Structure 1
Amino acid sequence: MTASRRALRADARRNRDAILDAAGELFAQRGDAVQMDEIADRAGLGVGTLYRHFADKQALRAAIIGRRFEEMAVLAQSAEAAGDPWTAFESLLYGYLEAAEPDAAFRFAILGPEEPSWADIEEEKLAFSASVERIVHRAVAAGRLRADFDREDFVLITRAAMANMKVPGEWRRLITLQLEGIRA
């Protein structure tokens, strides 16, 4: 949990979470066509309360990503504990995508038309990225991943899979094909 989120009073934290839940539902249903006043209404709050927490839709998308990245950082740390570098890599990859599959708002935030405001979620992104970097490096060093594979390739693969999540489980075929191409 980010320091700014921990510092919120309990009622402010509830409001923030209600806004994120409402935004997540609406972004998942209608993408970027959703208006801020609709999000506030769905959350049962005034639009002023929404704007006190989030300046714009870009900040909302970043917060949705940040909330998911908090969970992903824990997943990545767990994957790092695997003794076999390939098992660690596969655990991270599949765990990340399995968590993303039911979360259409997260996928929209990552793949949407505007780049998220990473500055708003730097702590979460850094924690997750550091684990990904270590897992990938370990698998490359062990000769389990091709030598030119890096953290950015992990991002490329996960984005491609998320873009193919319209039909449940369809992304797994894509990952199978990709893993065959990147395995050393």
Structure 2
Amino acid sequence: ERTLWRYAELLPVEPPVSDAQFNEGGTPLIRLTQYEQLYEHPHIYVKDERRNPTGSFKDRQAALTVTALQRMGIKEVVLASTGNAAVAYAAYCARAGIKLWLFLTSLVLAEKMREAALYGAEIVKVSGSYDETKVVAAEFAKRRGIQLDRGARGIPGKESMKTLAFETAEQLGLTFDGGGWRCPDWYI
């Protein structure tokens, strides 16, 4: 399996059934030889997260979080976002049958709002900063008795990011050590 769920035993959420997955994770590690020459460094790579289902590393966060919500029987959730998480959560919530209320700052690109809406998310635009948007979303969730998701601050969101590290170490190991894991010297 080449998805982030290959590391299921190290994650706080059991994998979803296969029809609830989008094949998230398993993105390529690409060597940038021109940058190696330019910066006089022998090994420069980029982890190409654009290959995820909605084109962002936020798919990892949405995959784990929405799976956790689904396992808890939650049918409706509120999220404040600045863009990429909105689209990822909209896609995963649609697939899981969870109603999503997205609170977005007015600075979020119109195409991100449209894309999230195409997945069926309810979009609420907030004139204000992201911090103000989070407050409005939290008040809405509390008033309506709806689950508020904290995005990258929630446990599944935080835990999802370690799959990036696992994949990178595994892929570098295949490149240099013939199968073992190898951690990068720097990660930017």
The TM-score, its normalising length taken from structure 2, stands at 0.25
- Looking at secondary structure, tell me which structure has more helix per residue: 1
Q: Of the two structures, which has the highest relative contact order with CA contacts closer than 8 Å and spacing of 6 or more?
A: 1
Structure with the bigger percentage of strand: 2
Q: TM-score, normalised by structure 1?
A: 0.26
